[in-house]
Homo-oligomer: A and B are copies of this chain.
């Protein structure tokens, strides 16, 4: 299958590399890593074993890639104002578009521009980071949950799940993509935000009882917001929040992507992970006051210079 990867960061490069290794025809749109990958290929350092791809089809424009069978979108949502222009040149009559981006609003953006029938979404549970240009560090996890934007289990979704499986990527098809997206938010909203704000990892956070309680309270708000989104079946707040806490307790000092982005001075994905979920919950009559507070606190740091170790009057 000819596949185009739009947004070749740690996620796009990792999944693209896994698929190419399994025999798929992968075409990366590259920016930062273009020169390095042309010269040295693509190196994956993975907990499941390192590997190197010496020949990689990398391009600097989407036009050079031309039409593909499948577009995989790994773009940061903060760059979504470029999304339509980047995807358009890859579309033939039958091209499907799979967005693996974070949060809410991405499928809708693609569906409005290109028609809902083209659009698929996937929730990636991947711990990976970019290293030097041309290298990716895969630290753990990697599974994907795939679904149709329009809902239901299609043949296409089963085929794509099988393709990922064949490439060594655990992948399941889900009939309720919306529920899967909200389930992921139950993790992302507390842990991405609190770790970015407090500059500490998930383990440090959960070792502090008031923060652990806060993380759980945030989860319960998100689950209440989720359960008014016409899901196929509701999420059980007590049970699911407990599962997520337990799952996160087993992540040894994991630093969520938003914490790393904040530390590196990069903009945060606040729209997809906070603003749009808040809007959707509010539109359905549910307020999430602690989520709203976390959003405001994170937003304060965006584009704002913190007065580091500010002068103390009279000192």
Give the chain B neighbours of A304 by CB distance below 8 A. 200, 204, 208
**Stretch of A18-26, A128-136, A175-183, A230-238 at the chain-chain interface:** A128-136
In the complex, the answer to whether B313 meets A198 with C-beta atoms within 8 Å is: no
Chain B min CB distance to A36 (Å): 14
Q: Is A289 on the interface with B (CB-CB < 8 A)?
A: yes
Binds B, one of A58-66, A77-85, A101-109, A291-299: A291-299
A310 to chain B, nearest CB (A): 6
Residue A115 CB within 8 A of the other chain? no
A289→B210 CA distance, assembly (Å): 12
> Are A198 and B297 within 8 A (Cβ)?
yes
A162 within 8 A of B: no
Complex: A262 Cα to B174 Cα, angstroms: 47
A315 at the B interface (CB under 8 A): yes
Residues of B within 8 A of A137 (CB): 313-314
Q: Which residues of A contact B (CB under 8 A)?
A: 45, 129-131, 135-137, 139, 194, 197-201, 204-205, 208, 210-211, 213-214, 217, 255, 259-260, 263-264, 289-290, 292-297, 299-301, 304, 306-310, 312-315
Taking a contact as CB atoms under 8 Å apart, the answer to whether A208 and B260 are in contact is no
Cα–Cα, bound, A162→B284 (Å): 57
Contacts of A194 in B (CB 8 A): 297
Query: Closest CB-CB distance, A263 to chain B, in whole Å?
Result: 6
Q: Which of B129, B130, B198, B312 contacts A263 (CB 8 A)?
A: B312
Beta-carbon nearest neighbor of A306 in chain B? B199
A198 touches B301 (CB 8 A): yes
Contact A310:B263 (CB < 8 A) given known A210-B299, A214-B293 = yes
Asked if A211 and B296 make an inter-chain contact with CB atoms under 8 angstroms apart, the answer reads: yes
Inter-chain CA distance A315–B129, complex, in Å, is 8
**Chain B residues closer than 8 Å to A264, beta-carbon distance:** 312
Tell me which of B205, B290, B307 contacts A200 (CB under 8 A).
B307
Q: A302's closest neighbor in chain B, by CB?
A: B208
The answer on a CB contact under 8 Å between A313 and B139 is yes
Nearest Cβ on chain B to A215's Cβ, whole angstroms: 9
| Given A289-B290, A290-B289, A314-B137, A306:B210 Cβ within 8 A | no
Tell me if B260 and A312 are in contact (CB < 8 A): yes
What is the bound-complex CA distance between A131 and B312, given in angstroms? Answer: 9
CA gap between A92 and B28 in the complex, in Å:
84
Of B197, B201, B300, the contact of A297 (CB 8 Å cutoff): B197
